[in-house]
Structure formats: structure tokens, C-alpha cells
Amino acid sequence: MQIEFKKVPNSGIHFETSLDEVKFCGEVVKTDKMLVKCSGVMEGTLLHTCDRCGESFTLAVKESVEVFASEGLYEDKEGEELLNVIEFFDGFIEVDTLLQSEIEAFKSDYHYCGQCEQLQGE
Ligand SMILES: [Zn+2]
């Protein structure tokens, strides 16, 4: 799904997309001349390899997401908090790219299968 930067109003518009078994929906809002905030929830399931025993299992995902899309190059301004920004150079926000990057970030955390989680609790 693509959203044109020019068409994102200050009041925000709804978006919805999905990648494999993960759905991502929420709102895009213009927060600055070149910056659009996408906030929403990604929810669904991912196939993941347990970080403890190496078994594949289905990982449930339900995460709130806040990510910014920049029209062109984004430079951190000094003194401002570091934002989670993805740059786009052709005037369009690729919502799927945002989702893909959030999924990668989510997967980079440690996740254990049901069995290992039980072991951990003991
Ligand atoms: Zn495991």
C-alpha cells in the first residue's frame, strides 16, 4: 500500500495493510513539512525460531507501532529526541516497508517457544 506524502492531511488518514499473517492498521498524520507520523497496531502471527531451543513456532504479535516516514533525506536535529524514521525518495510512503521494518525489529528481540517459556518460569 502506498500513500502520497502530499495527500496526508494534518488531521490524519486511516491506513491498513498486511504482510503474510501480520496486519498493520492505524493513522498517518503530517507532523512536519517533510515528516509523517504513522501510528497504529500490528497484530497477527509470525513463524519464528525459538531463541533458546531452535524449534520453529508460531509467535503471536500484538504491538503498538510509532514510526515516522520522511519525504527525502532525514537529518536529526540537535537536541531533539531520536525518532524511528524511514526515508522515502519518490513522494510516496510505502506502508509495507514500514511494516516490514517493524517486523524485523520485533523479531530481533528474544522470543521463546511455549515450552522454553515454561522452563523459564520455573
Ligand atoms: Zn524453545
Task: From first to last of the 122 residues of the chain, give the pLDDT tens digit.
Answer: 899 999 999 999 999 999 999 999 999 999 999 999 999 999 999 999 999 999 999 999 999 999 999 999 998 777 777 789 999 999 999 999 999 999 999 999 999 999 999 887 66
Q: Distance from the CA of 105 to the center of ligand 1, in angstroms?
A: 20
Q: Distance from the CA of 49 to the center of ligand 1, in angstroms?
A: 8
Q: How far apart are CA 80 and CA 114, in angstroms?
A: 40
Q: Distance from the CA of 46 to the center of ligand 1, in angstroms?
A: 15
Q: Distance from the CA of 5 to the center of ligand 1, in angstroms?
A: 43
pLDDT of residue 77: 76
Q: How far apart are CA 99 and CA 41, in angstroms?
A: 10
Q: Distance from the CA of 23 to the center of ligand 1, in angstroms?
A: 25
